[in-house]
Each structure stands twice: as C-alpha cells, then as structure tokens.
C-alpha cells in the first residue's frame, strides 16, 4: 500500500499537500507521504478547497457530491475521500516525475 492513498470498498482516501495560487491546476508528484497538487485558485474564502474538490471529482470521474474534504479545511495538508470511482489513485501520477520532496 502506498501511504498517500487507501481504498476501502468503494471509498478512496487521499492524503494531499495542496499549493494554492499556482499558475495552473495540476498534480505535481509526491511530497513526503502525500500527493502534491498545485491549484490555480487562491486560498481565499474557500475557493482553493472548492477548486480542489472539483479537480479530484474530474480526475476520478465522479460527481462533485462523491468527493468530500474530511480534514484540513484551513491547512495545506488535507485528507479527501472519493466514493464510487473505478479510477486507481496511482493513475494520477502517470506522466509525472515522482521524485520525493520533503
């Protein structure tokens, strides 16, 4: 098992490190034990969290209501669950250089 994701039945739990205010929204690779995601949205009035949930829903092919922020609403370190996706979390890293950042 990889530390940044876990599947239990039809629920996928992701551990994320989020960088708001980036030029574009993208998966940046691994950051310690988390998947690093750069968000184009600013960290103002929950816009970054909304953009994150929409990005995750799109990548996992599920409706927005199937993605939930479980932990880290005011932090860069977040825990998100995705319900009902057949997409494997490892596929988010395809085409990314997976060098570890600390």
Contact present, 14 and 80 (Cβ < 8 Å):
yes
Alpha carbon distance 9, 16 (integer Å): 20
Model pTM score: 0.88
The per-residue pLDDT for 62 is 97
User: Domains in the chain: how many in total?
Assistant: 1
* 97 inside domain: no
* 99 inside domain: no
- What 92-96 contacts at long range (C-beta under 8 Å, 24+ apart), as own/partner pairs, is 92/27, 92/35, 92/59, 93/27, 93/29, 93/30, 93/35, 96/27, 96/28, 96/29
Contact present, 47 and 55 (Cβ < 8 Å):
no
The answer to whether residue 84 scores a pLDDT higher than 70 is yes
Q: At 43, which CATH number?
A: 3.30.1200.10
Structure tokens at 55: 């990005």
* 41 inside domain: yes
Provide the strand spans (E) within 20-101.
26-31, 34-38, 67-71, 77-83
The answer to whether residue 76 scores a pLDDT higher than 60 is yes
The answer to whether residue 26 scores a pLDDT higher than 90 is yes
Task: Tell me the pLDDT tens digit for each residue of 31-73.
Answer: 999 999 999 999 998 999 999 999 999 999 999 999 999 999 9
Alpha carbon distance 48, 20 (integer Å): 6
Closest residue by Cα to residue 55 from 86, 20, 10:
20
The per-residue pLDDT for 2 is 60
Range of the domain at 38: 5-85
């Amino acid at each position: 098992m990889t530390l940044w994701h876990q599947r239990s039945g039809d629920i996928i739990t992701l551990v994320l490190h989020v960088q708001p205010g980036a030029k574009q929204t993208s998966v940046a690779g691994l950051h310690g034990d988390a998947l690093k995601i750069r968000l184009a949205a600013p960290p103002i009035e929950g816009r970054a969290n909304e953009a994150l949930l929409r990005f995750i829903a799109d990548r996992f092919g599920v409706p927005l209501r199937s993605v939930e922020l479980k932990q880290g609403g005011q932090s860069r370190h977040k825990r998100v669950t995705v319900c009902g996706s057949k997409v494997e979390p490892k596929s988010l890293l395809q085409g990314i250089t997976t060098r570890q950042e600390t």
